[in-house]
A and B are shown apart, each in its own frame.
Chain A
Amino acid sequence: MDKLVVNNLSKSFAEVQALKAVDLSLAEGKVLAVLGPSGCGKTTLLRCIAGFEIPESGSIQVDGATLFDSQRFVKPERRKIGYVPQHGVLFPHLTVAKNIGFGLPKRTMSTEQIRHRVEEMLELVGMVGLASRMPHELSGGQQQRIALARALAPSPALVLLDEPFSALDAGLRQSLREEVKNTLNSINATAIIVTHDQEEALSMADSVAVMREGECIQMADPVTIYRHPADLKVATFVGEASLIQGRVTGAHADTQIGSLPLAQAGLFRPGDTVTVMLRPEQFVLSNAAQDTISAQVLKSVYCGHSTLVEVQISAALGNEKLQVRLHGAQQFQPGESLHLQVQGQAMAYAAEPGEK
């Protein structure tokens, strides 16, 4: 059964409609990443689920129990939903241990049990020994981890994390990401992580929901989101994309760089004009001169593990510019000639005039 079901949720502030009929569902023990540009309503969605905003319409269910619909509104303190706000604020007047133990019920737990649980949580987030520190004596990353431990300590039904890594540098981000994922997995927690970093979403989550202007555009597992984005905007938001015009012929699209197999069958009629999307890493270098695309390097951006190269395909093929991701071991100079091959299937979208 689904842990969380959000149905047709809408919320607007004065003139902005922050959520437009959002539907979501999330299975027990899974991590959902909510991905979207700034201001698209991610925080608002979390706050509605946590009970800090009252939506105009729709319903929210956790474990089959309705937390919100047109008749019901369960107060936030009764929802048992862990919440780590966008800046992970700790209670500044309490020690780390007291922060973590804050939500543990004093009525049903002895002091000893609470102490034990706090110790357990500190271990979980890898911060043993810092129990008596005050929040202002912690680094930003440590504070984030304690905020997470505090949310997880009472074993909530669901955990909501609002951009938990936004304030951190790249290195710390990476390692904390791993830790948080492991932490969530180890207690089989169901969680929603809000982020506007596509890499974070794809690497951490079991499923990804892409939001735009208050709407949930697509919700699927990371591979589907990346390989088969619902539309061109999603495609360009979750990664780099090479776009090229084409014409549908059965299960293929004819383009200037050849006939490409399409991932979706039967969506378009033969003869339809479409925009074809390929991921840059679908291009590989080829030695053969046959059946390849010859192109000239315009510029290359070195990313360490790979090199993102912008190429212009030869005049005979129509001078199109393409993004290509090649192995980082090799360097490319502007003006250099390459031979490329395409691997895998392409996505086709109805061509909009003026769309590139």
Chain B
Amino acid sequence: MLAVLLLAALSSLPVLYVILRAQDAGWAYSAELLLRPRIFELLVNTLKLAAGATLLSCLIGVTTAWLVERSDLSYRKVWNAIVTLPFAVPAFISAYSWISVFPRLEGFYGAVLVLTFSNFPLVHLPVAAALRGMDPALEETSRSLGFGRIATFFKVVLPQLKVAILGGGILIALHMLAEFGALSFLNYETFTTAIFDQYYVAFNSAAAAMMTLVLLLLCMGMLFLEFLIRGRGYYATERKGSPGEIELVALGKWKPVALLFLVLLTIMAAGAPLGIITYWLLVGSSAALDLPDLLNTLQITLSFGLGGSVLAVIFALPLVFLAVRYQGKFATLADRIPYFIHSLPGIVVGLTLVFFAVRYAFVLYQTVPLLLIGYAMLFLPMAQSAIRAALVQVSRQLEEVALSLGKNALSVFMRITLPLIAPGVGAGLALVFLQIMKELTATLLLRPSGVDTLATKVWELTDNAQYAASAPYAAALILISGLPVYLLTMRSFTRSSKREKVFDG
């Protein structure tokens, strides 16, 4: 109960923040701020970027997923891992690495390209999973009814992928709304970067708040879209133990083209940023490397990551239990609110917390606890969905059996439930940890002054074009956030191994 109320309170904070700010500035002035041509210009920019990057990501993601799951390419498992590598490079690092070498990449096209490269795995992963989980009997039935492989793909396979594609696409669109670091390097203005400028540079909180309002509305629009899609029948097909080996399509003369595509994609999405950072690392070794500072920053980042992810999991556990084990209004609420919070850009959460801390709890302003709360708020939904996936697998009967054997509820939880959902909790921790490593926007706003994480350090140094000096921090960031990515994606890939065969023709 308490947890849900807290959650509801947290999620209403941003709205409250906008209202209070508007009131401070006077309603008329606020409305004026809101209706400027400038807002319209930002709106166009933001939507253009979201649409461009999302579409391109969907195209690339579906193609790679199909190649990895359904073609007869060799080393498909390896390719699957390689294709998800861009996850390990935070978008702002990849943006700065490109800019440091090709300053002309600025603007719309550069932004779409760079952000697509770092976000398309969000489409690739769910689509690959959907392809893997599809009952082969569906495709076989379509073939037996007279449709060739291509017609079957469009009539049967693609419609089943719709949910995965749209789900990934909406996630990417939300990321586009929230992206700050990469866009500020690429010099492309959206609401998020403009809000930051207003707040940090122009110190115009009222204007920032009004832009936040529009951003909030955009996010809610996305959510509504997602809700619509989910509402219209979410049909997960399962393999029901049909003697199903999925038929692999022989690429034939297209194989070199497919390989070239994957190689180019890898070079652009992961190779180039990593290569450039390595280059700066080598060049930079002449500039004195401040090893103690690097270690110190690393330690701070890790402890923030650990603290934030543990906090998020602690929050998530009761919420998930409520949602899975009990029915009712509260349970549904506990289930839904996180989706809303999840769509909040870091800058909104950051500004909101700063606002309330300054006003009502100044002791918290620029402290670690506030920062951790910000992290927990931002990434709670990730922890929740990971734990949820594990908990729904634990049969209620199992707990009931334990209770009937005379154990009390707490010991049942500790001895039965917790061990069984431990993998989910672990996945939740890892996911949140990974996100915190890469988090930049909220950290910039909420961190105690003078305390740097790897991400903020990179941002500050590169903002002054100190590329070489920033390289060690960037490399460290990639190394510690790249590892969890790798583990998580490999885990999802090896979970369902399957029998396969190749057909010609």
Residues of chain A having any CB pair with chain B under 8 Å: 43-44, 47, 50-52, 54, 75-87, 89, 91-94, 102-103, 105, 134-136, 147, 150-151, 154, 156
Chain B residue contacts of A105, Cβ below 8 A: 146
Chain B residue contacts of A83, Cβ below 8 A: 140-141, 144
19 inter-chain pairs at a CB distance below 8 angstroms, sorted by A residue, are A47-B140, A47-B243, A52-B140, A52-B143, A77-B143, A77-B144, A77-B146, A78-B146, A82-B144, A82-B145, A83-B141, A85-B137, A86-B243, A87-B135, A92-B160, A93-B235, A102-B145, A154-B145, A156-B144
Which 4 pairs from chain A and chain B are nearest by CB?
Answer: A103-B145, A92-B235, A85-B137, A83-B144
Query: With A75-B505, A92-B237 in contact, do A150 and B141 touch (Cβ < 8 Å)?
Result: yes
User: Of A84, A87, A154, which contacts B240 at CB under 8 A?
Assistant: A87
User: Of B137, B235, B241, B243, which contacts A44 at CB under 8 A?
Assistant: B243
- Shortest B155–chain A CB gap in Å is 8
Instruction: Report Cα–Cα, A84/B145, bound state, in Å.
Output: 10
User: Of A78, A87, A150, which contacts B137 at CB under 8 A?
Assistant: A87
Question: Cβ of B233 < 8 Å from any Cβ of A?
Answer: yes
**What size tier do the contact residues of chain B reach?**
20 to 34
Query: With A75-B505, A136-B235 in contact, do A89 and B144 touch (Cβ < 8 Å)?
Result: no
Residue in chain A with minimal CB distance to B235: A92
**Contacting residues of chain B (136-158) with chain A, CB-CB under 8 angstroms:** 137-138, 140-148, 152, 155-156
Question: Cβ of B492 < 8 Å from any Cβ of A?
Answer: no
Establish whether residues B242 and A102, one from each chain, have CB atoms under 8 Å apart when the complex forms. no
Chain A residue contacts of B242, Cβ below 8 A: 85-87, 89
Known: A44-B243, A103-B147. 13 other contacts (CB 8 A): A76-B140, A77-B147, A78-B146, A85-B137, A85-B242, A86-B243, A87-B242, A91-B141, A92-B235, A93-B235, A94-B159, A151-B144, A156-B144
Chain B residue contacts of A92, Cβ below 8 A: 160, 233, 235, 237
Instruction: Report Cα–Cα, A147/B241, bound state, in Å.
Output: 17
Establish whether residues A89 and B143, one from each chain, have CB atoms under 8 Å apart when the complex forms. no
Instruction: Report Cα–Cα, A154/B142, bound state, in Å.
Output: 12
Establish whether residues B144 and A93, one from each chain, have CB atoms under 8 Å apart when the complex forms. no
Chain B residue contacts of A151, Cβ below 8 A: 141, 144-145
- Shortest A72–chain B CB gap in Å is 12
Question: 0/1 per residue, B78-115, Cβ < 8 Å to A?
Answer: 00000000000000000000000000000000000000
Question: Cβ of B503 < 8 Å from any Cβ of A?
Answer: yes
Residue in chain A with minimal CB distance to B243: A43
User: Of B138, B144, B146, B247, which contacts A50 at CB under 8 A?
Assistant: B144
Chain B residue contacts of A50, Cβ below 8 A: 140, 144
- Shortest A89–chain B CB gap in Å is 5
Chain A residue contacts of B159, Cβ below 8 A: 91, 93-94
Chain A residue contacts of B147, Cβ below 8 A: 77, 103
Residues of chain B having any CB pair with chain A under 8 Å: 135, 137-138, 140-148, 152, 155-156, 159-160, 162, 233, 235, 237, 240-243, 247, 503, 505
Query: With A92-B160, A136-B235 in contact, do A86 and B137 touch (Cβ < 8 Å)?
Result: yes
User: Of A85, A93, A94, A103, which contacts B140 at CB under 8 A?
Assistant: A85
Establish whether residues A89 and B141, one from each chain, have CB atoms under 8 Å apart when the complex forms. yes
Instruction: Report Cα–Cα, A81/B140, bound state, in Å.
Output: 11
Instruction: Report Cα–Cα, A44/B501, bound state, in Å.
Output: 14
Instruction: Report Cα–Cα, A113/B138, bound state, in Å.
Output: 25
User: Of A54, A87, A103, which contacts B146 at CB under 8 A?
Assistant: A103
Instruction: Report Cα–Cα, A51/B160, bound state, in Å.
Output: 24
- Shortest A155–chain B CB gap in Å is 12
Instruction: Report Cα–Cα, A93/B138, bound state, in Å.
Output: 11
Chain A residue contacts of B160, Cβ below 8 A: 92-93
Residue in chain A with minimal CB distance to B143: A76
Establish whether residues B137 and A154, one from each chain, have CB atoms under 8 Å apart when the complex forms. no
Instruction: Report Cα–Cα, A52/B144, bound state, in Å.
Output: 9
Chain A residue contacts of B235, Cβ below 8 A: 92-93, 135-136
- Shortest A335–chain B CB gap in Å is 42
Instruction: Report Cα–Cα, A135/B138, bound state, in Å.
Output: 13
Chain B residue contacts of A47, Cβ below 8 A: 140, 243
Establish whether residues B233 and A134, one from each chain, have CB atoms under 8 Å apart when the complex forms. yes
Chain A residue contacts of B141, Cβ below 8 A: 83-85, 89, 91, 147, 150-151
Chain B residue contacts of A82, Cβ below 8 A: 144-145
Residue in chain A with minimal CB distance to B137: A85
- Shortest B135–chain A CB gap in Å is 5
Instruction: Report Cα–Cα, A54/B250, bound state, in Å.
Output: 15
Of listed A89, A102, A147, residue having the most chain B CB within 10 A: A89
- Shortest A96–chain B CB gap in Å is 14
- Shortest B162–chain A CB gap in Å is 8
Chain A residue contacts of B144, Cβ below 8 A: 50-51, 76-77, 79, 81-83, 103, 151, 156
Establish whether residues B146 and A89, one from each chain, have CB atoms under 8 Å apart when the complex forms. no
User: Of B237, B243, B503, which contacts A54 at CB under 8 A?
Assistant: B503
- Shortest A117–chain B CB gap in Å is 13
Chain A residue contacts of B156, Cβ below 8 A: 91
Instruction: Report Cα–Cα, A262/B138, bound state, in Å.
Output: 50
